[in-house]
Structure 1
């Protein structure tokens, strides 16, 4: 089973803004921004990002969102994921505004275009205040069927267990906090898993036993660890995604994140991937970066 694919879904918002509903527990989000200039800048960033990925050979399915009630729709990876088993998973979202991002047209497109015959719909868990926000809350190692997940309001262990049981993955759960003690709101800002490497700030996993369990898992999966600092995490260096592109592997990474890496880290990563910096500074005001913008499609 391949870790990466050459196909993604992206959503281009027409009314992007930071979401006050999500700001309380998303330390990566800046002061709420709104207005024509911010919305246009975000629209243009998504357009350019899609063009850059396509120029490298990545297949991008770009959907427009003209709604005004979905300020975070640019991050579709939180509400669905696809799997080579033919499984389409729909996730329970923490904030009510984010639940409106689920779109029947995208779901039907995925079923028709890629033949997903099975759906695991966890969205009804929202009624019980149980949440699991997709590949934001869960970082998959598809090669070795491992699901890494940091505890937070947006990652319920029961929902994770249900997901892993259905997919046949082993859950590895841990606590991760910033220097001021706040839980990391999404696992995919803390770590990224590639075919041959894992980028992560393990120092933010304060419990020694939990940290060692993650390290042992990475080693057992025969992947190299690229350590990141908390400062680099704050610059979205953990929020990257490996993709296939014309027979080679690329790493989608924001320019903000790329600039935070040191020379040794860049050289280490270049052993396995071509680094592809993409400028998304306006979207990063909303608390997510390039990985959050890419819902990866795994054809059956």
Structure 2
């Protein structure tokens, strides 16, 4: 059943949009058989590994360059290689999150080769060199031992202005760990819900492929939320957000996988993939454009093979400046 978990805790002040993101180059990127079990967005392409790497790196470099030219700070985390390949390292938003008080959280990941992506010491060093202060590191990774997972902003979509976390429950989003994390960061409202994909009836693997929350808008594929919980979720969002409802087909083109950011000068931009941009209707493009400059990126190789898109490639940095 749907839970609107009330947890009282000291609140930290917050803003909705980050003006700095971590991005990880896809040096080992390829189809990840380990994650394909519950990620219906992944597809094998008829390309060699070298072709995949070349195309993915080209898409990544173009996205970094454009974000920087628009005034968004990009911390390029060129992570050290280890004995285990990390084909999904290009999606760093699943293993860490940051808060304005200078905390860096690391999370329990469901797949073994994705657990090897978690390199907090190297990331902290790079963040500090980029002028961001990390005052505290909190690790939730030990929860992997209990087979309980919480894949950060892949499964948690934040409404920072209302101290609310939206989350589609799945094997990658454990309800108890979710509520515990909300309590730790002082977010007193958790709206968790169940989803079912048409055809397979499987839950959505990551909330951020079906919904995105901006400062005053929300994009959501509400038809995948189970019927008895759908109205509650929409009612919660509609209090102060313009709701842009997308179809399952649009969700499959990653229309739900976008992120509103801020530039150094405070301008709003909305990062999304070109396939998402092309799948929105003209009316929806008009609605989105009223909330910020739209930045479509061609990441077709990454999103088809990896089953994640632009939002997954962006680890938001809310840490204070040093």
Unpaired runs of 5+ residues, structure 2, are: 1-13
Contact 2:79 2:122 in 1 (8 A): no
Cα RMSD for the two superposed structures: 1.4
Aligned match of 1:260: 279
Alignment of 1:146-157 (within 5 A): 146-157=164-175
Residue 293 (1) aligns with residue 309 (2): no
Work out the CA distance in 1 between the residues paired with 2:48 and 2:92: 20
Work out the CA distance in 1 between the residues paired with 2:250 and 2:220: 10
Aligned match of 1:168: 186
Give the alignment partner of residue 116 of structure 1, picking from 123, 134, 141: 134
Contact 2:29 2:53 in 1 (8 A): yes
Give the alignment partner of residue 189 of structure 1, picking from 209, 217, 220: 209
Work out the CA distance in 2 between the residues paired with 1:153 and 1:34: 31
Work out the CA distance in 2 between the residues paired with 1:15 and 1:123: 23
Mean Cα deviation higher: 32-41 or 271-280: 32-41
Give the alignment partner of residue 296 of structure 2, picking from 277, 284, 292: 277
Aligned length: 298
Cα drift, residue 96 of structure 1: 0.5
Work out the CA distance in 1 between the residues paired with 2:105 and 2:59: 27
TM (norm. structure 2) is 0.89
Work out the CA distance in 2 between the residues paired with 1:145 and 1:65: 32
Give the alignment partner of residue 62 of structure 1, picking from 57, 72, 76: 76
Give 3-state SS (helix, strand or coil) of 1:45's partner. Answer: helix
Work out the CA distance in 2 between the residues paired with 1:132 and 1:249: 29
Work out the CA distance in 2 between the residues paired with 1:255 and 1:177: 26
Give 3-state SS (helix, strand or coil) of 1:277's partner. Answer: strand
Aligned match of 1:247: 266
Work out the CA distance in 1 between the residues paired with 2:253 and 2:238: 26
- Moved >4 Å (runs of 4+): none
Work out the CA distance in 2 between the residues paired with 1:204 and 1:6: 31
Work out the CA distance in 1 between the residues paired with 2:106 and 2:254: 25
Alignment of 1:101-140 (within 5 A): 101-103=117-119, 104-110=121-127, 113-140=131-158
Q: Deviations over 1:163-205 (max 9, x none)?
A: 0001111111001121111110000001000001000011111
Contact 1:82 1:298 in 2 (8 A): yes
Give 3-state SS (helix, strand or coil) of 1:192's partner. Answer: strand
Aligned match of 1:16: 29
Give the alignment partner of residue 39 of structure 1, picking from 50, 53, 60: 53
Cα drift, residue 216 of structure 1: 1.8
Give 3-state SS (helix, strand or coil) of 2:25's partner. Answer: strand
TM (norm. structure 1) is 0.96
Q: Deviations over 1:136-175 (max 9, x none)?
A: 0100111111001001110000110110001111111001
Work out the CA distance in 2 between the residues paired with 1:166 and 1:60: 27
Work out the CA distance in 1 between the residues paired with 2:289 and 2:133: 35
Give 3-state SS (helix, strand or coil) of 2:272's partner. Answer: strand
Work out the CA distance in 1 between the residues paired with 2:179 and 2:138: 13
Work out the CA distance in 2 between the residues paired with 1:107 and 1:96: 22
Unpaired runs of 5+ residues, structure 1, are: none
Give 3-state SS (helix, strand or coil) of 2:78's partner. Answer: strand
Give the alignment partner of residue 81 of structure 1, picking from 97, 110, 114: 97
Give 3-state SS (helix, strand or coil) of 2:77's partner. Answer: strand
Cα drift, residue 247 of structure 1: 2.2
Q: 1:166 to 1:109 in 2, by over 3 A?
A: same
Mean Cα deviation higher: 61-70 or 167-176: 61-70
Aligned match of 2:222: 202
